[in-house]
Amino acid sequence: MALERTLSILKPDCLQSGAIGQVVARLEAAGLKPVAMRMHQLTTSEAEGFYAVHRERPFFRSLVSYMTSGPVVLMALEGDNAVAKNREVMGATDPAKAAPGTIRRDFAKSIEANTVHGSDSTDNAKIEIAYFFRATELVKYDVKR
Ligand code: ADP
Ligand code: MG
């Protein structure tokens, strides 16, 4: 299995649900180790840039508005097959369609306020991690359970 990194964002609804700890616990339990972590209030231009791929979508303005409506937690996660593993633990974009036991099924409020972001490919993970973190902000440590 390939050791990968992926970008995770705990979205404003996650913080407003008081669920930071519960969501991070699920990620860690899945073998996704935070190697960078920071709280942040996204600006409109940061959110527009981050979601630029969606700029023609009907939900784009609302998504930018939502993502800037409150603080988020930015994380780089590391682990075997981290990109796909994170997507699996997150669940489908629409919480109504997310599998039982996934983060979105258990915490998300709506298809927009869906608790977590996760990179969708290793190439995008590199771009997204670099969007928020300098290489020197990524730490190294071992987890032994
Ligand atoms: P994912 O986050 O699962 O990769 P997308 O990349 O398709 O999903 O969309 C990015 C984000 O845009 C979603 O996580 C969600 O917050 C929002 N979004 C996606 N589809 C819709 C929609 N139909 N209506 C409102 N917001 C949406
Ligand atoms: Mg996506």
pLDDT in tens, 95-142: 999 999 999 999 999 999 999 999 999 999 999 999 999 999 999 999
Give the containing element (helix H, strand E) for 35. strand 33-40
For residue 126, give Cα distances in angstroms to 72, 134, 138, 144. Answer: 19, 11, 12, 26
Give the closest residue (by CA) to ligand 1 atom 17.
112
User: Token pair of 79, please?
Assistant: 């682990």
Residue at 115: amino acid letter: T
What average pLDDT does range 86-97 have in this prediction? Answer: 98
111 within ligand 1 shell (Cβ under 6 A): yes
104 within ligand 1 shell (Cβ under 6 A): no
pLDDT in tens, 20-75: 999 999 999 999 999 999 999 999 999 999 999 999 999 999 999 999 999 999 99
**Ligand 1 centroid, distance to 57 Cα (angstroms):** 10
| pTM (global) more than 0.95 | yes
Q: Give yes or no for a contact between 78 and 3, defined as CB atoms under 8 angstroms apart.
A: yes
